Structure formats: C-alpha cells, structure tokens
Structure 1
Amino acid sequence: MGSKKLINVRKSTQKSISELYKEYLNYCISIGQTDGTIVSKTSYFKFTLNKIVNVEGNISTFTQDKLEKHIIMMRKNKYSSNYIQGVVIKSKAFLTWCFNHQYIEKFKIKIPQATQKKKTVYTEEELKKLLKKPNLKTCLVGTYKNWVTVNTLLGTGCRAETLLNILVKDVDFINSTILFRHMKMHKQISVPLSPTLSSVLREYIQLLDFKQDDFLFPKLNKKKMSYDTLHQNISIFCKHRNIQMRGINTFRNTFATLFIKNGNNNIYLLQKLLGHSDIRMTERYINLLPCQMAEDINKYNPLDVLNQQRLSIKRGGKQ
C-alpha cells in the first residue's frame, strides 16, 4: 500500500493582522520573553507594521512583495542598516508565528546584514570630570545620587535595567559582590564589588538611610525608577559637568574598553562580567572597540612580548 502524501492546508481566518498580532504578543509573553523585548515588539506594531501593510486587513495581504518594497523604501531614505535589520527581524518573527499556525503561506525572508559601528566610549578626561566627588555639604541629594550612579555603571558595566532592579540587600560588602537579579537572559549573576565602588556604595547607603529591601537607585518616593528618568538624571548630571551625554549604555562600552586597556584580556572573565550567554557576543563586543585600542592590546600579544624579551636579551649581551 503506497504512502499518503500529507498536504499542508492553510487555515482560513477572518481575523485582521491587528487581531493576530495581539495573539502573537500574548504568545511571546507566555514563553517568557523579556519586558524589553515585549516593549520593542509593541512599538514595532504601533509605529512600523502599519507602514508595511494595512493592519486592519487580512493576514494574506502581508506579502513578500510588500515587505521587500518597505525595505527598498528604507534604503532609499538612508535608514541605518541596524534599523533596517531590526525591522526585518521583527517582521520575520511575527510572520514565522503566522506560518507555524498556517494562517499564511510560507515565504522566504532574508535578514539583511547590518554594518556594525565602533563602540562609543567616554574618554578618560571626561571620566575624571564625571567621577569628581561633589561636596557633600553643599550639593543636592540628586547630584550626589547621580554621581554614585555613574560610579556604579562604570564600576560594573551593567545595563540600565539591571541597575534599576538592584536592591540594597543585593550589595554584599562582606563577600564584596553585587547580585544582578535582573538580566537580559532571565538569569541572575553575582559580580565582584571593587574596593572603590564598595566604599562609594557603603557611604551612599548610610547617608540616604536605605533599608535592605529598598531599591538602590529609586525615585524620591522609594519606588522603582524608570529608564527615562534615569536617562534624564544622567543627562542633567553630564551637562553640569560639561560632558556630552552619549547614552547610559556608553558606560558599559567604556567598562569593557578600559577592562582590556588596563591589561586584562581574559575574554571569558569579561563575558561573565558583561552577562553574555554566548562568548561570540563578547568577541563581537571586543571587535567593535575603538581603533586606538589596537596599540594597547598589542602590548599583551605573546609574539610581541617574546620579541621584546629577545631584543632586550640581545641588547644586554652586547653591553
């Protein structure tokens, strides 16, 4: 008896793209995607998807041709390659969900390559200005708090959302560690607490009379601070220090850069400190460090070190 060929029949649905996208978002929430991912996908629906296709129309109207025409439009209007890549990735994720539920016939979606830019960092001169401790007798509480925030961002290399979820009890002065309870990949890690940052945080917690269950960097009412408020506070702090604000994540870039520049090229240690789940993410991070880092890193290249030792011995033998 011959085998029967299974035919993949597409479901018919009267639901609009808008209705299906709501179901898709609920699915993303149910499988535990991060809050940041859900916010990003919600923004895509509000501000981008309706430019590709009429979201009140049937899913069958979301065709390969329409997606490609939108990509061409973005290229013609000089959108950054990173932005274009992000749009295609989010479109593909939604369409794949629709493909899997047989709401639309599958078609191929190729994600375009993005041009990776060198990481922006704060210079050492800028850091000296930002890290100059304010006069505790005359400064505002907000200024002091922002100074401590900058110290923590630079001293740990953590992301903004990680910083905003740190509790006072997560700072372990006895074992010199900080617990990062909110990470991008839903994992918790403990990172070393440097002597300088330990001193800064110990004084900060005592002066502001924080309790163990308080957020380390809360709003005035002790509630969790939002990213927008954090960004605004650091922007004001940078302005008062005559420094151009380059974003919260720039402190993370600076941490990684100085980590290498100061002589520690242990990529696996850097991976742990940055909280990367895949070593390739850390390798990519290092590859995007500023060009001037090459000279500093080369000082620790084993071939160059051995060559310098050989030349030193040779010179010594001639004397």
Structure 2
Amino acid sequence: MAKIKLIVSSTIEDTFQDFILSRKTKGLAEKTLQSYQSQFRAVAQHLDVSMEMSALKRSHLDAMILSMRDRGLSPNSINSYTRTLKSFLSWCNEQGITHLNIPLYKAEETVKETYSDAELELLLKKPDIRKATFAEYRDWVIINFLLNCGSRAATVRAIQIRDVDLDAGMVFYRHTKNRKAQVIPLCSAMISILREYLHHRGGEATDYLFCTETGTQLTENGLRQSIARYNTRRGVQKTSLHLFRHTFARKYLIDCGGDAFTLQKLLGHSTLAMTKHYCTIFDADLTKNYDNFSPLAQMKSKSSKIRVNNKK
C-alpha cells in the first residue's frame, strides 16, 4: 500500500512530538524517549523548531551545526544531537513528510576511563559483616557483581532473587537495554559471595536481589549515590557506576585475554560495533610482551648489559 503524504502543515516541534508518540507505540524504553526529548531541546537552541516542517532545508541544518561549533560544543555532543535528528528525519522520510536527512557529525575517539587495580583493591576489600551496615555490605557485593559481568546499573536494579541460579552458576537478566533475555555466567568467587549474601539478605523469590534496607527496589539515583558514598569512604575519588562496565571490558580483554564475540554477549551489545570500540581502545595485542618491542625497553636492556660487562 502506498504511503499517504501528509497535507496538513506542521512545525518541526509538533512533528517531533508525533515522532516521539510513534516511538512509544514501538515500545522504546522511557529512558530513551527522555533522552530524545532532552537532545531535541538542546537542538532547539540552534535551530528554529517553530518553523514549518515543510520549510526546513539543508541550509538550516548546516547553520545549526555551525552554531553548535561556534558555541563550543564538543564533537561528541554534536554527534549525539545529529544522531537524534537523523532518527527523526528518517522517520519523517518514511511518513512522506520530507526527503531531507542529516549525516552524522564526526565524533572524537575517547579513551574510556576505568578503575585502576589499586582502586579496585580498596573497593573489593570485604567489610566486617558483623560491624558493617546492610548498605555497605550490599554495595560491596554489587561491586563484585559488576566486575563479574559488567552489567548496566538498570539491569542490576531489576534482578530478582529467583533470577539467580547458584547451582548452575548463572544469573538471568530480567531487564536489558535491548529487551532481549540474557543469561550470564557467575565465576566461583561470585557464587560464594552471593550464597553468603543471600543467607544474610533473606527474602522471597520475587524480591529484588539488591534492595534497600527496607527491602524495596533501589532507585536509579539511590544506587548511584550509595555506590558513590561507598567509594568515597574507601578513599576512591571515582564514583561512576558505569566505569565498572568499562573496567570489566578492559580487564576482560587485556588481563584475561577474552575475545570480542564473548565480550559482546556478556555486555549485551546488539551488534559488534560498540564491542569493537572497546577492542580498539583496550587492544590486548598492543600491550602483550611489549618489552620485546619497545625501543625504550631495548635501549635500557642494552645499557644494563653494557654496565654489567664493564664491571666484569
């Protein structure tokens, strides 16, 4: 059936709200929809969204990019805004509203910050269960869990006790970003930690695994603040939950010799694109046995041999 071109004229802003409504009916996560709205508000500072959709031209989009650059926005921010606009305009094309689109603005490759081994040692030191609060003990277990599988914070919050199978050594993810079921393995150390934690935590099968002190589900902000307090008390200034995900990826690839395809499954990436991003940054092959290839290491080695021979 041929698509019917809309005749009624509408502003860019009104059309964008129609786009949001269409994404809701497609089942997009509320967080994604909120991100779209937030980015559109940022775009509106550089593009007149009150103009008629039919009047929008490529020159307006080019002027928008120039305005963003002149305001000092980072390439990654501009890339994020053009990504949202590209999705919006692609939908407009499908609806016969416009044939206009926008190329993605080139983002800068950034090195993902991670926790150092020294910081991890501080965070992984087990608290005295007899003296620690439930929150401190729970946060310690959560950090161990994040280093076991690199899961997202939203996923951690949604895990229920019934999702954990300690005998089989795995956990079922009830909530994932792409809404696909996911089963993740647990290492033997994590199984032991969870077994002890569940003994102290108690609860019913449908209760949340990592709960508040009153047994309710942790909020997104509550989890973030609790981990931040935990880290600060341990003398670690980095407090980001998401850094544990980057740290897991780095250590999995470099320290553990893991492969990209398995990492993709563990992190729940729909495609290899994001996983390749980690692989590019954390290239294990570059760091392996580098003393054999570094010009500095070779010169230092020769210098040491010369000193030894001279002493002889």
Structure-2-length-normalised TM-score? 0.84
Q: 1:160 aligns with which of 125, 128, 153?
A: 153
Aligned-residue sequence identity (percent) comes to 28
Q: Which amino acid aligns with 2:143?
A: V
Q: How far apart, CA to CA, are the structure 2 residues paired with 1:258 and 1:222?
A: 33
Which residue matches 1:128? 121
Q: CA RMSD in A?
A: 2.5
Q: Aligned pair 1:295/2:290, yes or no? A: no
Which residue matches 1:42? 37
Q: Aligned pair 1:25/2:17, yes or no? A: no
Which residue matches 1:198? 191
Change in Cα spacing, 1:265 to 1:147, as seen in structure 2 (3 Å) is closer
Which residue matches 1:282? 275
Q: Which amino acid aligns with 1:239?
A: T
Q: How far apart, CA to CA, are the structure 1 residues paired with 2:55 and 2:144?
A: 51
The 8 Å contact of residues 179 and 190 in structure 1, kept in 2 or not, is answered as yes
Q: How far apart, CA to CA, are the structure 2 residues paired with 1:52 and 1:10?
A: 28
Q: How far apart, CA to CA, are the structure 2 residues paired with 1:121 and 1:213?
A: 33
Q: Aligned pair 1:181/2:181, yes or no? A: no
The 8 Å contact of residues 161 and 209 in structure 2, kept in 1 or not, is answered as yes
Change in Cα spacing, 1:176 to 1:280, as seen in structure 2 (3 Å) is same
Which residue matches 1:78? 72
Q: Deviations over 1:78-111 (max 9, x none)?
A: 322211111001112112222332334x224111
Give the Å deviation of 1:221.
Answer: 4.3
Q: Which amino acid aligns with 2:240?
A: G
Q: How far apart, CA to CA, are the structure 2 residues paired with 1:108 and 1:189?
A: 35
The 8 Å contact of residues 250 and 278 in structure 2, kept in 1 or not, is answered as no
Q: Aligned pair 1:265/2:261, yes or no? A: no
Q: Aligned pair 1:52/2:34, yes or no? A: no
Which residue matches 1:139? 132
Return 163-172 or 67-76, whichever deviates more: 67-76
Q: Aligned pair 1:242/2:235, yes or no? A: yes
Which residue matches 1:112? 105
Specify every segment of 5 or more residues in structure 1 that has no aligned partner in the other structure, as ranges: 1-7, 300-319
Q: Secondary structure at the match of 1:51?
A: coil
Q: Secondary structure at the match of 2:269?
A: coil
Q: How far apart, CA to CA, are the structure 1 residues paired with 2:285 and 2:68?
A: 34
Give the Å deviation of 1:52.
Answer: 3.3
Structure-1-length-normalised TM-score? 0.82
Q: How far apart, CA to CA, are the structure 1 residues paired with 2:289 and 2:142?
A: 29
Q: How far apart, CA to CA, are the structure 2 residues paired with 1:245 and 1:62?
A: 44
Q: How far apart, CA to CA, are the structure 1 residues paired with 2:56 and 2:134?
A: 53
Change in Cα spacing, 1:189 to 1:9, as seen in structure 2 (3 Å) is closer
Q: Secondary structure at the match of 1:190?
A: strand
Which residue matches 2:91? 97
